[in-house]
Amino acid sequence: MFRKNMQNLQLWFKDQNRKPLVIRGSRQVGKTWLVRSLATQLKLDLFELNFERNPKIKALFSDNDPEQTILQLESFFNRSINSKKALLFLDEIQAAPELLAKLRWFAEEKPELAVIATGSLLDFTLADHEFSMPVGRISYMYIEPMSFEEFLLALNQNKLCEYLSNFTLQDKIPEIIHDRLLQFLREYILVGGMPSAVEIWMQKKSFFAVSEIHNGILQTFRDDFAKYAKKIAFDRLDDIFRSIPNLLGKKFKYSLVNKEVRSEVLKKALNLLCKARVCHKVFSCSGNGVPLAADIKEDIFKVIFLDVGLVSSALGLSITTENIFTRFKLINEGSITEQLVGQLLRTVSPYYIDPKLYYWVREKSGSAAEIDYLMQYNTKVIPIEVKAGTTGTLRSLHGFMQKTKLQTAIRLNADFPSVTEVKLKDFANRPIEYTLFSLPFYLTEQINRLVATGGLEPPTSAL
């Protein structure tokens, strides 16, 4: 399967100023597979250590001298290490967090040896570490589940993916191609982007088999709760874990999770799941300017899950026959499409930036309004409305655009792409004028490029 981050990994390896790389991402998103594939593609001699499976191997790194460490590694593997042709892979490094500090010695004294570390619960370690992190001497890469375009490539739909990459707002998408892309999008909503689920779908085209994989992954996440034991009780984590799929698209309220438990306890449980990257907060902000993170309201947020396929299984939406699946209008489910868009927006950030999501909400009796997502585009803020199906009112968007005086907005739905110059007046006869880019969901990953070719300068920053 093709992963876009493979290109970034290859560029990292060839960089003359390469530093040890730490790959961060949830369990089972494909971190280990990426590193092994890099070694295979570049014909590197892979030296792989898993600290969760064998904690004792951290003793091989007892010395701060990389040369001495390499001697010990050669004895352990019974193989010589040619630093220029080898890849040292430290998997599940959160089980030996003190080794992160030792990466500085490899950066300073042995830069010719490529070193990659990964960890599924690494954010726990980084939040509580008592050692000195090698600031400026390591690089980061963030891995998400497979995107829709990666899903297409996995299904050998290379030309469809190429079509999306080359599409411009001046092009007209034939209805037959549009329908086909929406059909694949429905598949993606049910299968999702967890590599093992995509692989079994490639092989068997069976939703029974995909559902089995999904439920296995969900159970693996629950099994991990035992590793949080010193931080919070299993039941509270499970309360949050089970509630997220049902609260998609809504302001997250702890009272909707469990009325019998104090919100402080549930808040801690949610924060732990976010650190494990099982879910992600979408923070409310004013949207008045960039950076969006400068004025977030930390007590007002929504939550999306790691993967739309896992959400579909958790909600019991798996379809068991192709005939039913063809007629199933899952794309019209508003909460699912909001999960879909949020998940895909997290894939358009540069690989070295931890992706964040934001939205806007006005909680006022009689005039409540909400914009599903806000994205930062260079020095501008662009609102994104998610509309299930092909229709939906834009009252909240009109109000937001009048308030902020922004010039560009995006609507994502199941309709054909279009660009509209909106010119109208509000109830107080105030003008509302802006450009509305209406894009089908399957073009979400092309947002930056399409907005750039629509008249704005090329982006210098992502979400």
> Mind listing the pLDDT tens digit for each residue in 241-252?
999 999 999 999
Strands ordered across the beta sheet of 21-24: 45-50, 86-91, 114-119, 21-24, 139-142
What is the per-residue pLDDT for 132? 64
pLDDT at position 131:
62
- Span of 166-175, 206-215, 380-389 with lowest mean pLDDT: 380-389
From residue 398, give the alpha-carbon distance in Å to each of 86, 150, 357, 370: 56, 34, 21, 11
Rounded to 10 deg, the angle between the 207-224 and 234-243 helix axes is 150
Q: Which fold has domain 5-142?
A: Rossmann fold (3.40.50)
With 70 as the cut, is the pLDDT of residue 461 above it? Answer: no
Q: How far apart are CA 254 and CA 251, in angstroms?
A: 10
230 pLDDT exceeds 50?
yes
Question: pLDDT tens digits for 10-31?
Answer: 999 999 999 999 999 999 999 9
Contacts of 147 (CB under 8 A, 6+ apart): 4, 193, 344, 347, 445
In angstroms, the CA 392 to CA 398 distance is 13
304 closest CA partner among 266, 277, 333: 277
pLDDT of residue 130: 64
Share of the chain above pLDDT 70, in %: 92
Q: Please, where are the H alpha helices in 110-247?
A: 122-128, 148-154, 158-166, 175-191, 195-204, 207-224, 234-243
SS3 at position 137 = coil
Task: Say what the pLDDT of residue 390 is.
Answer: 62
Task: Provide the percentage of residues in the chain whose pLDDT is more than 90.
Answer: 72
The DSSP annotation for 34-103 comes to HHHHHHHHTT-EEEEEETTT-GGGGGGG-SS-HHHHHHHHHHHHTS---TTTEEEEEETGGGSTTHHHHH
CB-neighbour burial class of residue 322 (10 A; exposed 0-12, middle 13-18, buried 19+): exposed
Higher pLDDT, 289 or 130: 289
> In terms of pLDDT, which residue wins out, 345 or 377?
345
What band does 324 get if pLDDT is binned at 50, 70 and 90?
very low
For residues 123 and 276, is the Cβ–Cβ distance under 8 A?
A: yes
pLDDT band for position 226 (cuts 50, 70, 90): confident
Torsion of CA 172, 155, 21, 51, to 10 degrees: 150
Mean pLDDT of 75-86: 96
**203-223: pLDDT as tens digits:** 999 999 999 999 999 999 999
pLDDT band at 426 (very low <50, low <70, confident <90, very high): confident
pLDDT at 260 over 60: yes
Q: Where are the domains of the chain?
A: 5-142, 149-453
Give the up-direction half-sphere exposure of residue 15: CA atoms within 13 A in the CB hemisphere: 16
Strand ranges, E, within 332-399 = 357-362, 369-377, 380-386
427-453 mean pLDDT: 90
pLDDT the model gives residue 288: 86
What global pTM score does this model have?
0.91
Instruction: Report the C-alpha gap between 425 and 418 in whole angstroms.
Output: 22
CA 449, distance to chain mean position in Å, is 19
User: Average pLDDT, stretch 317-332?
Assistant: 48
pLDDT of residue 319: 55
pLDDT of residue 290: 86
Measured at the CA of 9, the angle between CA 6 and CA 14, to 5 degrees, comes to: 130
Taking a C-beta distance cutoff of 8 angstroms, is the pair 447, 419 a contact? no
Pairing outcome for strands 369-377 and 279-285: unpaired
3-state secondary structure of 204: helix
- What's residue 304's pLDDT? 97
Amino acid at 424: L
Cis peptide bond upstream of 458, omega within 30:
no
Taking the CB of residue 153, how many other CB atoms lie within 10 A of it? 19
Mean pLDDT score of the chain: 89
Question: CA-to-CA distance for 143 and 26, rounded, in angstroms?
Answer: 8
Q: Are 442 and 182 in contact (CB under 8 A)?
A: yes
Which amino acid, one-letter code, is at 142?
A: Y
Q: For 107-143, what is each residue's pLDDT tens digit?
A: 999 999 999 999 888 887 777 666 666 777 899 999 9
Whether pLDDT at 51 is above 80: yes
pLDDT band at 92 (very low <50, low <70, confident <90, very high): very high
Per-residue pLDDT, averaged over 56-75, amounts to: 94
